[in-house]
Structure 1
Amino acid sequence: MTISVSSPGGGETSLAEAVKNFGISIEDYMLPVHGQIQILSEDGTMLPEDRRGSSPGHQYPVPPDEELLAAYRRLVIGRRVNDQNSALVRQGRLAVYPSSHGQEACQVASALCLRDGDWMFPTYRDAVAVMTRGVDPVDVMTIFRGDWHGGYDPHAHQVGIQSTPLTTQLLHGVGVAHAAKLRGEDTVVLAMCGDGATSEGDFHEALNFAAVFQLPVVFFVQNNQYAISVPLAHQTAAPSLAHKAVGYGMAGERVDGNDIVALLAVLDRAVTLARAGSGPLLVEANTYRMQAHTNADDATRYRNQAEVEAWAAKDPLNRMRHYLRAAGQLTDDVEASFARDAEEVAQHLREGLSGEPEIDPQDLFRYVFTEPTPQLREQAAFLADEIARSADTAPADLAKEH
């Protein structure tokens, strides 16, 4: 399903040159297609080409079945991870968890479209994407325990640390892409955000900078219809979030976010174009957050059950299961093996998050400055003395190193 994009002499190509082979003008290509790109219907049958939402220049090849079967396995694991983490919150093992239940297709496709050397910059809701990228699930969930660190080395996996502040990760992703371009690397950055993030100033700054400097960034917007309790209609008057791309001078595309076949096809081409030097692109995936914003949210206050049930019928796992069953790819034995794989990950999470983390209170002061200030040394000594007094033991000279 790889799209071949080349430029004369093998150098950097403009977006206009990159889309020339698609038989469409740059002006038309930059605007998203009418409707959205969809390849699988909600009942799991393959749509005929004239009903996929694509148009001349926006045709997407269907990934091979073996690739789709591997993606489905990741969907099954992702759904089990979401359910397990929600249970760990109720058990008090996690402080909070922003579930991506219902958005697993976006999560899996975003990770599978990247090469090993590419970078992903996720949001707080993208734990399944980070795990699919290869980060240990327990390390991914460390931040949701309330521990002081992110849990994994971003450089070891080319995955930015998940962050709660909206949209800050887009600026970090653009910075990495800028550095990669200056070094002559073929790195592509996938910068992820939600619909609420498009209302932030950092969104504008990230897209504008990336477009002006023609950086290899794919901005992936998971439009799950709500920024906590604020529906999309109260955030923008644009026809779609993908339409915002043209204002920055980049192409935008809309895709069914519960159709992993379409997601893999669209994201693969976006990454391929960005790697060829055509500049940034924006992909909007229409999906739905089936559960509450986090365990601290009451979603019934701002949306009704009929809306939730309508989206439940579009479930990405059911859609792929029906397609793969009909294609003869998903047998009972294969599905059982996927379920076992998912349960192994869930067990790993339970075991890894069951113990209490070892906490050193002096870490409050140890990593603030390279050379601690006199005030920090004084505070560290005071805390060490308080801990020693409360334990009624001889003082451990924890502050000496400062």
Structure 2
Amino acid sequence: MSVRTSHPAVDDLLPAAVPVRFVAADGTAVEPPGGYSAPPDERLVEAYRRMVLGRRFDRQATALTKQGRLAVYPSSRGQEACQIAGVLALRDDDWLFPTYRDSVALVSRGLDPVEVLTLLQGGWHCGYDPAASRVAPQCTPLATQTIHAVGMADALRRKGEDAVVMAFIGDGGTSEGDFHEALNYAAVLKTPVVFFVQNNKYAISVPLAKQTAAPALAYKGIGYGVRSEQVDGNDLVAVLSVLTAAVEHARAGHGPFLVEAHTYRMDAHTNADDATRYRQAGEVEEWESADPLARLETYLRGRGLLADEGIASAREAGEEFASRLRDRMNADGETNPFELFDHVYAEPTAQLREQRALLASELTAAED
């Protein structure tokens, strides 16, 4: 006797055998696989502008760490196609759950760059209002945000909203138990969530080969019944096409979707890391030749969608953006040491009150 189930067919879950690609590393168009459509031209031009601004923001934030204005900064140089496409695939009422490396995505989403950098500056909060922006706090612990994202997606569905949740995650995060629990939970409850893995080849210093024996991280969704895909993460056209399809899949009630983008982290893990200890210069140079920004620029030029004037305008906007950011970040703000105690408990404990009084007496003595 056969038993009917609602489980999807394996073939319906499988990613493409090779990463989906629309544009080659040299900026020339290639024949994309069936099932995906290129985004509208005006959307690609807008994506280019955002990538230029995002790259300039990233460079400026890196410089701010050297000036002592940021405690730490995890650069996403080389991953701009993923950062920008992830944001463009979402509506304003969709939710984004980022990692600590996704500052460029948050800026592209429209968040105040100074607020985005608050956490990395050493602030006690994330800097922005998650409820108003529909952007969760940047997550430093690996993969814990994936569980939160699934919970949010389930809550939105229960409330009758057709919003989608996208959870950014790095390749290192896929080695964490939270990631697997999130996939299973999302599939069983059929929640509208997209798991977007930016596979930049290293979990700090641990190369991908020492993390997994899977042919691609995209295959990790199959065991949980999650539709999956892999894409060339340095090809913005392909990433935006695949993510748009993934979001539509989730929004239509078909459940979660896992997308793996093959990209590369050109800079060190953070400003505190020495990447030369675990990778060769030749490896970085090879990936720089596939720079996602240069690739998109060449592609748009070749199609007559971008000329020198448009490139100059985008770069000028990036410089103006960086200048305003520098001025604001270099201005010393007022600090209130008593904020240490303000949001620990709704009702301060006796110990907190004692510590606050001790700090007050020490500050008063210092002033005298």
Normalising to structure 2: TM-score of the pair?
0.97
| 1:300 has 2:283 as partner | no
Q: Percent identity?
A: 58
Deviation (angstroms), 1:362: 1.1
**Other-structure match for 1:79:** 55
**Other-structure match for 2:15:** 32
Q: Which amino acid in the other structure matches residue 325 of structure 1?
A: R
**Residue 250 of structure 2, aligned match among 260, 265, 274:** 274
Q: Which has the larger radius of gyration?
A: 1
Specify the SS of the correspondent of 1:308. helix
Deviation (angstroms), 1:265: 0.4
Deviation (angstroms), 1:206: 1.0
Q: Which amino acid in the other structure matches residue 102 of structure 1?
A: G
Q: Which amino acid in the other structure matches residue 140 of structure 1?
A: V
Matches within 5 A, 1:236-247: 236-247=212-223
8 Å contact from structure 1 (residues 15, 278) kept in 2: no
Specify the SS of the correspondent of 1:160. coil
| 1:391 has 2:367 as partner | yes
- Structure 1: give runs of 5+ residues left out of the alignment: 1-13, 17-25, 393-402
In the aligned structure 2, how far is the partner of 1:196 from the partner of 1:40?
27
**Residue 106 of structure 1, aligned match among 82, 85, 88:** 82
In the aligned structure 2, how far is the partner of 1:253 from the partner of 1:369?
44
| 1:209 has 2:153 as partner | no
Normalising to structure 1: TM-score of the pair?
0.89
8 Å contact from structure 2 (residues 74, 101) kept in 1: yes
Specify the SS of the correspondent of 1:293. coil
**Other-structure match for 1:10:** none
Matches within 5 A, 1:153-302: 153-302=129-278
8 Å contact from structure 2 (residues 111, 128) kept in 1: yes
CA RMSD of aligned residues (A): 1.1
Deviation (angstroms), 1:29: 2.2
8 Å contact from structure 2 (residues 200, 265) kept in 1: yes
8 Å contact from structure 1 (residues 137, 345) kept in 2: no
Deviation (angstroms), 1:117: 0.6
In the aligned structure 1, how far is the partner of 2:332 from the partner of 2:12?
53
In the aligned structure 2, how far is the partner of 1:29 from the partner of 1:312?
35
Q: Which amino acid in the other structure matches residue 259 of structure 2?
A: V
Deviation (angstroms), 1:35: 1.0
**Other-structure match for 2:43:** 67
**Other-structure match for 2:3:** none
8 Å contact from structure 1 (residues 119, 188) kept in 2: yes
Question: Is the alpha carbon distance of 1:320 and 1:123 closer, same or farther for their aligned partners in structure 2, counting shifts above 3 Å?
Answer: same
**Other-structure match for 2:24:** 41
Q: Which amino acid in the other structure matches residue 357 of structure 1?
A: G
**Residue 373 of structure 1, aligned match among 349, 355, 359:** 349
In the aligned structure 2, how far is the partner of 1:171 from the partner of 1:271?
18
In the aligned structure 1, how far is the partner of 2:194 from the partner of 2:7?
13
User: How big is each residue's C-alpha offset from its partner over 1:355-377, in whole Å with a ceiling of 9 and x where there is no partner?
Assistant: 22322111111111111111111
**Other-structure match for 1:3:** none
| 1:144 has 2:120 as partner | yes
8 Å contact from structure 1 (residues 138, 348) kept in 2: no
8 Å contact from structure 2 (residues 99, 169) kept in 1: yes
Deviation (angstroms), 1:353: 0.6
8 Å contact from structure 2 (residues 7, 225) kept in 1: no
Please say which of residues 330-339 and 96-105 is displaced more in the overlay: 330-339
Q: Which amino acid in the other structure matches residue 92 of structure 1?
A: G
Structure 1 residue runs of 4 or more that deviate by more than 2 Å after TM superposition = none
Deviation (angstroms), 1:15: 8.8
Specify the SS of the correspondent of 2:356. helix
Q: Which amino acid in the other structure matches residue 299 of structure 2?
A: Y
- Structure 2: give runs of 5+ residues left out of the alignment: 1-5
